[in-house]
Amino acid sequence: MKIQRAWKYKLILDDSQARTLFLWMSHLRGLYNLALEQRILLYHQNRKSLSWQDQANELPELKEVATWLKDVPSQCLQQKLQDLDKAYDKFFSGGGFPRFKKRGASMSMRFPDPKQFSVDLVRGKRKAFLKLPKIGLLKFVNSQEIIGAIKNATISMSPAGDFFVSIQTEYELTVVANSGPGIGIDRGVTNFAVTSECKVFGLPTERIKFLEGQLKQAQKLLSKKVKGSKNFQKQKLKVAKAHQNIVNLRKDSMHKISNDIANNHGLVVLEDLRTKNMTRSASGTREEPGRQVAQKSGLNRAILRNGWGEFGRQLEYKTAWNGGKVIKVAAHFTSQTCFKCHHVHKDNRNGESFVCRSCGQKDHADVNAAKNILAFGQRVLVCGETLSRGDGKTASRRRSMKQKPLVA
């Protein structure tokens, strides 16, 4: 199994190197906007379009007018034009029309050819260097060993002002079938993830709330600064760093949980959740105002804070690398169905406790739901049944759960 993987490192730069990279990324953003404007004007005038090759051929002439483009490596300029081409391809495939990049956005640059850069590792030490044209050696900590043939490198700048390098490699991965047991996972708000094995995984909510308090305080101080002043820019950077701390803590916890699950289980079954629909605003319209808007807003924040989509994405690729499989099933009635007798009733669940009104089975509500999710996944795997979202067969599915056993 041939896979492509990115290895991300934080760059340790001096002021001169950071200033140079920032200027390069700003120039590339300007080129992107110029190229997009040229395409729009040409289409309105002649109903014709340009490819990135056509615009790349005009770069020598453009450099004579916009001399600031001469500072940036040519391959990075061409790569930015290719990015615009990809944006148009997405638009023709049904996506949104390409937008102009505002200041501070799209702060990245890519070196597509490994001949244009090199990675120098210091033997016996964690210190390493990235050598780039026109700028020299950039230091970073070799926190993880790079595996495979290097394909390209991307330099990016976070809103907090930190610079990172992402080195993409390609290598052959020997996948051995994971003989671990199957597991069902019920993702929730109170409990981040509850498994069918009665194991509860949680995010460091107290630490996250503490960091969110720091973020709120930083935002309050930002609102008191004069917009555009130096103090405003300094405080804006502190707000960005507070955001970054929360994101890093959440991602680190998710990676640890997903590693534990992917390494020890051959089958992982998740609910196919539509997070976008679940987090819609309840404010309504002026003619038909919504109800319990504040409560729904708090629930939306809690759902988005847990990052269900990112957790599912991590589980999918990690499970595949470990020889396992991820199956997504519909979430309908998993919390209302008794795992033992398959009786479905909304009163079976009361908060976090589950008591079946038919057979008297008692269990934790999330554990019962996780067991149902695992059973649904096993039916999909063995019998090939379709239990995904959007099939419009809620009533028939509900009847089938009453009549048929959940495990094949």
What is the SS3 assignment for the chain? CEEEEEEEEEEECCHHHHHHHHHHHHHHHHHHHHHHHHHHHHHHHHCCCCCHHHHHHCHHHHHHHCHHHHHCCHHHHHHHHHHHHHHHHHHHCCCCCCCCCCCCCCCEEEECCHHHCEEEECCCCCEEEEEECCCEEEEEECCCCCCCEEEEEEEEECCCCCEEEEEEEEEECCCCCCCCCEEEEEECCCCCEEECCCCEECCCHHHHHHHHHHHHHHHHHHHCCCCCCHHHHHHHHHHHHHHHHHHHHHHHHHHHHHHHHHHHCCEEEEECCCHHHHCCCCCECCCCECCCHHHHHHHHHHHHHHCHHHHHHHHHHHHHHCCCEEEEECCCCCCCECCCCCCECHHHEECCEEECCCCCCEEEHHHHHHHHHHHHHHHHHHHCCCCCCCCCCHHHHHHHHHHCCCCC
Residue 58 annotated to the active site = no
Q: Which of 83, 186, 316, 363 is catalytic?
A: 186
Q: Which of 162, 172, 271, 385 is catalytic?
A: 271
Residue 162 annotated to the active site = no
Q: Which of 64, 352, 366, 391 is catalytic?
A: 366
Residue 366 annotated to the active site = yes
Positions annotated as catalytic residues are 186, 271, 366
